[in-house]
């Protein structure tokens, strides 16, 4: 057991030493009280426009990522989804981090491309985390998915150089390190105790006493001293066969040498043995001489009943096991083991019994090792040590099981809402501000920063007409804004991305505006591309829960969006009596448009220089389709219209007034005159199961050109 104890102690001491060193190093050198593991500062540079990490480097989520950069130029550091970063840097030269080896060794890859200036990263809203203005650090709880860390010059120019430090903050990491340190100290102490502990001398003595074999003495009786006349020879012959223990005179040592008495116990001795009181001895006058018995003249001892004799107490230095063995009848003698009714036999005329072998004594008196108290105590100590270590391991496991961040599960192509609610509201607010400034000055260049076609084409045409008809600038439109915007942001996996806004109009209470904002690429701004104004009598559908259409969604519709656009163009070309009219539920604006065009045809045909008039509509571009929460399709499309007048032969025709003069003034045409319109349309295509007609929400025309031949 000593070898096992020392071996176990050595293993525990080594384990505790390693745990103590690791816990101390991690707690006070690697981690620190802020629970953050940081890499040394590392210089990263690129001849391109950015240094960006590969998505595989952020393959776990949960901890907080901390990035700090420093350089000669103002720097920007941000985290974005891979689909945004990839599109933003598409075609641009940059450096990609593809490998990380702790503590601060990175593997890089240079990607070739254009070194032109990009849109300043701080102007983009798709970053999930970015450094604040004037700051060059960020803190971001790592999310599940494909994300990239980007370091750029703040103005988007190439030639990036930065000293970068990465850190990961793990919750409770410092406390766990201290727990490992404490557990290491405890295990080390326990191992040293097991290795260096010495057994007390008292315990060694008890062990020796427990293992000492005491020979079994046969035919030994414990005599009882009886007061008789002095007789030296008899006193010598009847001397007790034991010695008094030197530790206590009243105790008897079982280890005294055996002395055999030649006399059988007397009647008084038998009575004493049976428990009767011994009478006081009477005065003896003169005892007659008693012949000394010889070995050839045996004297028959008077039969007497023997009774159990009180067992003397064991010495104080004996262990409990030795005491139990000392109390065994085998140590008392044959006389004590006889039955009460069996006569005692004289010891001097009995042949000496055969000596018991050591094997026989071992069978009856030796205690098995597994039953010894020392073995039980050692085994219990080992079990307690093992239980303590198991409990400590379990504690460390349960407290540190959350330290290892889980691996990312969203490894497929990213999919995200086109915009957040806050960002969408910021886009609308920015549009309100810039649009009013552009309207005040009829600045088409400024309008290009916030609008895209077909809305931009209508705005530019309106500015051109306004400058022609109101050169003095007296009829500038009043400022207005879109109020209480409701945002519908579908999920997208690639650019372009779009979201829909349904809002009120500040200068037209009760009216609504439906608009589509679109971003062509990750580096471009949001622009208003489609904008219509349904009348008060038309209830537009809810934009909450809009999504991009799947094939299954389109198959459930009354008709496909492209087919609806063609049918609508045919309907408008043919007028209210067109066969396609039954497919649609016109809006008040559409009915008014058809009525106006019919009057214009009649008026122009009556002119002597006009031979005939035609009005033709055609789809323009690809319809934008969104699926509502009810399963219907909200569709935005545009139509072109050409209003054509054929001039009578020999006549001349030209515009002398009106909006057309902004495009062609006082120019004489001999064959045709034409006016070109651009219409924006919003409609709802119901599901097949409803059997309803396509509802026209709004149609908004704008003259965009005029001329002739």
Are residue 558 and residue 702 in the same domain, yes or no?
Answer: yes
Q: Is the pLDDT of residue 272 over 50?
A: no
In a domain, 332, yes or no: yes
d(CA 216, CA 365): 10
My answer on whether omega of the bond before 605 falls inside 30° of 0, hence cis, is no
Question: Beta strand pairing status for 694-708 and 160-169?
Answer: unpaired
Residues forming beta bridges with residue 356, ordered by sequence position: none
Tokens in use for 629?
């929460």
Q: Is residue 54 domain-shared with residue 134, that is, in the same domain?
A: yes
Per-residue model confidence (pLDDT) at position 314 = 44
Dihedral over Cα of 141, 147, 148, 153: its sign? negative
Minimum mean pLDDT among 299-308, 631-640, 654-663: which range?
299-308
Contact 406, 58 (CB under 8 A): no
Residue 646, pLDDT > 70, answer: yes
pLDDT of 268: 46
How far apart are alpha carbons 182 and 24 in whole angstroms? 9
| 92 in the same domain as 196 | no
pLDDT band at 639 (very low <50, low <70, confident <90, very high): very high
Q: Identify the domain boundary among 351, 380, 410.
A: 410
Domain identity same for 159 and 200: no
* 510 lies in some domain: yes
Alpha helices in 352-419, H assignment, sequence order: 358-365, 373-400
- Asked if the model's pLDDT at residue 642 lies above 90, the reply is yes
Q: Minimal CA–CA distance to 375: which of 387, 363, 386, 383?
A: 383
Number of domains in the chain: 5
Query: Tokens at residue 213, please?
Result: 């074999």
pLDDT by residue (tens digit) across 407-432? 778 766 678 899 999 999 999 999 99
Identify the helix (H) or strand (E) that includes residue 455. Answer: helix 455-469
Average pLDDT in the 348-361 region? 45
pLDDT at 226: 46
Cβ pair 529, 516 in contact under 8 A: yes
Share of the chain above pLDDT 70, in %: 67
Q: What is the DSSP string of 10-59?
A: HHHHHHHHHHHHHHHHIIIIIITTTTEEEPPPEEEEESSSEEEE-GGGS-
What integer best gives the mean pLDDT of the chain? Answer: 77
How far is residue 181's CA from residue 452's CA, in Å, rounded to a whole number? Answer: 63
Alpha carbon dihedral 225, 226, 227, 231, in 10-degree steps, equals -80
Range of the domain at 122: 38-169
**Per-residue pLDDT at 389:** 58
- pLDDT above 90: residue 482: yes
Last residue of a domain, one of 376, 410, 444: 410
Dist. CA 77–CA 68, nearest whole Å: 8
- Please determine, for residue 359, whether its predicted confidence score (pLDDT) is greater than 50: no
In the predicted model, what is the mean pLDDT of residues 453-472? 93
| Paired strand residues for 60 | 407
What is the pLDDT, as a whole number, of residue 328? Answer: 56
Q: Is residue 282 domain-resident?
A: no
Q: Are 574 and 632 part of one and the same domain?
A: yes
Please state the rounded mean pLDDT for residues 510-522.
93
Pairing of strands 50-53, 94-101: parallel
Q: Examine the pLDDT at 446 and tell me if it is beyond 90.
A: yes
pLDDT the model gives residue 166: 84
How confident is the model over 207-218, as pLDDT tens digits? Answer: 555 554 555 555
The mean per-residue pLDDT over the stretch 169-183 comes to 71
Is 11 in the same domain as 58?
no
- Do 44 and 149 fall within a single domain? yes
Q: Write the secondary structure of 410-443 as one string of H (helix), E (strand) and C (coil).
A: CCCCCCEECCCHHHHHHHHHHHHHHHHHHHHHCC
Mean pLDDT across 29-53: 79
CA pair distance 245, 313, nearest whole angstrom: 10
Q: Does residue 27 form part of some domain? A: yes
Q: What is the pLDDT of residue 71?
A: 87
Residue 633: pLDDT over 90: yes
Helix count (H) and strand count (E) of the chain?
Answer: 16, 22
The sign of the dihedral angle between the CA atoms of 662, 664, 668, 674 is negative
Binned at pLDDT 50, 70 and 90, residue 232 comes out as low
* CATH assignment of the domain containing 159: 2.60.120
Question: What is the CATH number for 452?
Answer: 3.10.450
Q: Which residues contact 273 (CB under 8 A, 6 or more apart)?
A: 224, 265, 305, 306, 307, 308, 309
Question: What pLDDT digit, counting tens, does each position of 681-703 carry?
Answer: 999 999 998 889 999 999 999 99
Q: Per the structure block, which two tokens stand in for 387?
A: 């239980």
Does position 55 have pLDDT exceeding 50, yes or no?
yes
Which pair of tokens denotes residue 692? 């309803």
Helices marked H in 151-196: 173-196
Tokens of 196: 């260096």
In a domain, residue 283? The reply is no
- CB distance 29 to 132 below 8 Å: no
588 with 504, same domain?
Answer: no
In sequence order, which ranges of 575-617 are alpha helices (DSSP H)?
588-605
Residues in the chain: 709
Joined together, the tokens standing for residue 181 give 């340190």
- Residues near 186 by beta carbon (within 8 Å), at least 6 away in sequence: 16, 392
Same domain, 511 and 571: no
Q: Which of 483, 503, 532 is the last residue of a domain?
A: 532
pLDDT of residue 307: 47
Contacts of 195 (CB under 8 A, 6+ apart): 5, 6, 9, 10, 13
C-alpha–C-alpha distance, residues 522 and 417, integer Å: 14
**219 inside domain:** no
Residue 520: inside a domain, yes or no?
Answer: yes
Rounded mean pLDDT of 461-469?
92
Is the model's pLDDT at 366 over the cut of 90?
A: no
Structure token digits, residue 346: 């004289």
CA 183/CA 193 separation, integer angstroms: 15
- Which carries the bigger pLDDT value, residue 49 or residue 1? 49
- Residue 579 counted as domain residue: yes
Nearest to 304 by CA among 263, 259, 333: 263
Within a 10 A sphere around the Cβ of 528, how many other Cβ atoms?
A: 23
| Claim to verify: residue 436 and residue 490 sit in the same structural domain | yes
Over residues 561-603, the pLDDT tens digits come to 999 999 999 999 999 889 999 999 999 999 999 999 999 999 9
Per-residue pLDDT band at 380 (split at 50, 70, 90): low
What is residue 51's predicted lDDT score, i.e. its pLDDT? 93
pLDDT single digits (tens) 69-108: 988 889 999 999 999 999 999 999 999 988 877 666 778 8
Q: What is the 3-state secondary structure (H, E, C) of 98-153?
A: EEEECCCEEEEEEECCECCCCCCHHHCCCCCEECCCCCCEEEEECCCCCEEEEEEE
Averaged over 516-537, what is the pLDDT? 95
CB-based contacts of 571: which residues, under 8 Å, 6+ apart? 578, 580, 581, 583, 584
pLDDT at 30: 65
Q: How far apart are CA 218 and CA 201, in angstroms?
A: 34
Same domain, 391 and 494: no
Query: Are 557 and 701 found together in one domain?
Result: yes
Parallel, antiparallel, or unpaired: how do β-strands 64-70 and 672-685 relate?
Answer: unpaired
pLDDT confidence bin for 476, thresholds 50/70/90: confident
């Amino acid at each position: 057991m000593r070898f096992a104890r020392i071996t176990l102690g050595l293993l525990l001491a080594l384990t505790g030493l390693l745990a103590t060193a690791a816990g101390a190093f991690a707690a006070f050198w690697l981690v620190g009280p802020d629970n953050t593991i940081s890499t040394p500062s590392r210089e990263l540079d690129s001849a391109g426009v950015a240094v960006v990490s590969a998505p595989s480097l952020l393959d776990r989520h949960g901890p907080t990522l901390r990035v700090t950069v420093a350089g000669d130029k103002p720097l920007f550091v941000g985290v974005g989804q891979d689909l945004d970063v990839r599109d933003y840097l598409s075609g641009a030269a940059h450096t990609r981090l593809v490998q990380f080896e702790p503590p601060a060794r990175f593997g890089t890859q240079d990607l070739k491309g254009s070194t032109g200036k990009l849109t300043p990263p701080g102007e983009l809203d798709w970053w999930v985390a970015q450094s604040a203005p004037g700051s060059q650090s960020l803190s971001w709880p790592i999310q599940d998915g494909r994300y990239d860390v980007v370091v750029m010059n703040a103005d988007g120019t190439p030639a990036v150089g930065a000293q970068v430090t990465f850190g990961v903050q793990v919750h409770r990491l410092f406390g766990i390190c201290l727990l490992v340190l404490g557990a290491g100290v405890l295990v080390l102490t326990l191992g040293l105790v097991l290795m260096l502990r010495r057994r007390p001398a008292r315990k060694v003595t008890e062990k020796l006493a427990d293992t000492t074999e005491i020979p079994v003495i046969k035919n030994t009786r414990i005599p009882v001293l009886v007061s008789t006349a002095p007789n030296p020879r008899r006193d010598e012959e009847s001397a007790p066969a034991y010695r008094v223990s030197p530790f206590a005179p009243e105790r008897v040592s079982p280890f005294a040498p055996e002395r055999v008495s030649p006399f059988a116990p007397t009647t008084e001795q038998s009575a004493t043995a049976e428990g009767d009181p011994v009478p006081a001895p009477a005065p003896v006058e003169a005892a007659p001489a008693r012949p000394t018995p010889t070995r050839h003249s045996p004297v028959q001892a008077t039969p007497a009943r023997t009774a159990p004799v009180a067992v003397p107490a064991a010495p104080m230095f004996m262990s409990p096991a030795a005491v139990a063995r000392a109390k065994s009848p085998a140590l008392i003698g044959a006389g004590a083991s006889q039955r009460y009714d069996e006569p005692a036999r004289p010891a001097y005329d009995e042949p000496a019994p055969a000596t018991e072998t050591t094997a026989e004594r071992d069978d009856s008196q030796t205690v098995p090792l597994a039953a010894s108290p020392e073995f039980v105590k050692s085994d219990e100590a080992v079990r307690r040590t093992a239980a303590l270590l198991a409990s400590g391991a379990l504690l460390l496991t349960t407290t540190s099981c959350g330290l290892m961040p889980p691996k990312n599960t969203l490894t497929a192509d990213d999919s995200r809402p086109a915009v957040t609610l806050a960002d969408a509201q910021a886009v609308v607010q920015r549009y309100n501000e810039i649009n009013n400034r552009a309207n005040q000055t009829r600045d088409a260049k400024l309008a290009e920063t916030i609008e895209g076609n077909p809305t931009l084409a209508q705005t530019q045409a309106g500015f051109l007409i306004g400058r022609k008809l109101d050169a003095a600038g007296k009829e500038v439109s009043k400022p207005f804004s879109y109020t209480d915007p409701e945002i519908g942001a579908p999920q997208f996996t690639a650019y372009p991305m779009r979201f829909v806004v349904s809002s009120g109009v500040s200068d037209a209470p009760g009216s609504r505006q439906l608009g589509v904002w679109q971003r062509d690429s990750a580096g471009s701004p949001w622009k208003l591309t489609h904008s219509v104004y349904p009348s008060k009598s038309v209830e537009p559908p809810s934009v909450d829960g809009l999504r991009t259409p799947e094939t299954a969604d389109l198959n459930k519709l009354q008709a496909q969006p492209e087919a609806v656009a063609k049918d609508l163009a045919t309907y408008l070309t043919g007028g209210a009596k067109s066969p396609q009219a039954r497919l649609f539920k016109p809006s008040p604006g559409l009915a008014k448009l058809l009525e106006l065009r019919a009057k214009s045809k009649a008026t122009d045909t009556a002119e002597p220089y006009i031979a005939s008039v035609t009005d033709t509509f055609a789809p323009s571009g690809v319809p934008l389709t969104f699926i509502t929460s009810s399963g219907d399709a909200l569709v935005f499309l545009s139509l072109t219209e050409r209003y054509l007048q054929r001039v009578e032969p020999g006549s001349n025709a030209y515009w002398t007034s009106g909006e057309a003069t902004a495009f062609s003034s006082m120019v004489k045409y001999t064959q045709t005159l034409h006016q070109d319109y651009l219409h924006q349309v919003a409609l709802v295509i119901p599901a097949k199961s409803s059997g309803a007609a396509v509802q026209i929400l709004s149609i908004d025309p704008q003259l965009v050109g005029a001329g002739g031949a």
